[in-house]
Amino acid sequence: MLLLAFSWWLQDFFTNEPELLTRDKTRFANYFLEDFKLTAYDKSGKAKYTLKAKRLDNFESESVAEIEEINVNFYSQGSNWTVTANKAKLFQDENKIEFFDNVKILRPKQAEKPEFSFQTQQMTLLTEKEILQTDLLVTVNNNGTLIKSKGLRYDGKNGILELKADVKVTYVK
């Protein structure tokens, strides 16, 4: 019986042609960057944001860049923000960044504004609209007050925070 199974496997091995890997079946980045820092400026020459990361793989055919260990500092008139995550996807045609895996967003104490932070496993940033959103569990820390919510939407232009569901607040005085 063993000899029969071995002879069947051997016959099958020699009659099947190996599968050729083609560009259609593989995914290649058209370029990548490692341990880099990028600063974008507005028309007046002021820094808009600084992006640092361990690695970026750009896939031009998909209009997406995949980023590892991302750290982005956003600079605006009223406040500065830092976003860190283990992974991110930058969708170039959609002006959207999706942050994944240990996402932390921090606005340090500035002038009259107390420290403010978010922590979650996934967050989407709509860059042109300055909107942060997630449907996952998020923890918000606002000057010692802890807020947990399933889902969040933050409008950075208007300063509006919307908590979506199952909101729990712990106030520390």
Contacts 24+ apart (CB under 8 A), 108-112: 108/80, 108/82, 110/78, 110/79, 110/80
Its CATH architecture, for the domain 28-170, is Sandwich (2.60)
What's the token pair of residue 85?
């995550």
Q: Which residues of the chain have pLDDT under 50?
A: none
Q: What is the pTM of this model?
A: 0.77
